[in-house]
Amino acid sequence: MPDLLIDNDGAVRILTMNRPEKRNALNMALSQALLDALHEAERAPVVRAIVLTGAGPAFCAGADLSEFAALKSEHEALVERRTALTMKLHGVFSQLTKPVVTAINGAAMGGGAGLALAGDIAVMSETARLGYPEVKHGIVAAVVMVNLVRHAGRKAAFELVATGDPVDAARALALGLVNRVVAPDRLMETALQSARAMAAVAPQAMAATKSLFYRVTEMPFDEALKAGREVNRRMREFGKDKS
């Protein structure tokens, strides 16, 4: 079976991490397959939204520790290749013009928690948990920390990465890490409903909305207002072109 399953639900592309025996741990093969599939979905005109989930009881357990153990200092080129791939994967979500819904079906840990939060909308099973246990293994939740501090308050984010303790779905919702918590049997349908609603939006409007959203989060207030005004102008011109 492939490491990543790719299905379609109308205009929604469903990506399912498919290493259930490894709790969908991210080895280089799965990371590359997921990155490639996200880029392919971005290029496909028929795809308007994306849902990401995991096969089996876990969403994603994070880095595949069996592969990670081989990344010693003497294998510097391989270490750099994996690091670059991880950065590209966690960075691509905000660069896509199409919205991504993560359906967090089970444990999302470390890099898996990073993927869960990287989506634009996150729907979590009430039985799932989310955490950053890296510090307990003597390492740092380094790349995934970037998205975490943009989703949670500073105190909550620091507690998550400094203690390594996971949070349940109710706590994740209270911290603003996810949008909705639902029963396990309603998870995929809820995620698909969200994705279908966004897929129904005009692609140009969705692309402009998502691009502006991620830009203004990093801008000073006055610059963000100017960026919003420019997008308003461009979208008005686009409307004229269609008439």
What confidence tens digit (pLDDT) does each residue in 91-131 have?
A: 999 999 999 999 999 999 999 999 999 999 999 999 999 99
Active site residue 230: no
Are 211 and 178 within one domain? Answer: no
141 plus 221 within the same structural domain: no
Shared domain for 118 and 76, answered yes or no, is: yes
Same domain, 80 and 178: yes
Q: Answer whether residue 240 shows pLDDT above 70.
A: no
Instruction: Calculate mean pLDDT across residues 191-212.
Output: 96
Question: Do residues 132 and 209 both lie within one domain?
Answer: no
Could you say which of 40, 42, 76, 134 is catalytic?
Answer: 134
The tally of domains found in the chain comes to 2
| Strand ranges across the sheet with 129-131 | 58-60, 107-109, 129-131, 167-168
CA-CA distance, 122 to 81, in Å (whole number)? 29
Shared domain check, 186 and 207: no
Residues 71 and 174 in one domain: yes
Over residues 53-65, the pLDDT tens digits come to 999 999 999 999 8
DSSP strands (E only) in the chain: 4-9, 12-17, 49-54, 58-60, 100-104, 107-109, 121-125, 129-131, 167-168, 180-182
Phi/psi of residue 5, nearest 5 degrees: -95, 140
Are 15 and 106 part of one and the same domain?
yes
pTM value is: 0.92
Task: Please indicate, yes or no, whether residues 14 and 36 belong to a single structural domain of this protein.
Answer: yes
What residue numbers bound the domain in which 230 lies?
A: 203-242
Same domain, 83 and 19: yes
Residues 144-164 pLDDT 10s: 999 999 889 899 999 999 999
Are 104 and 211 found together in one domain? no
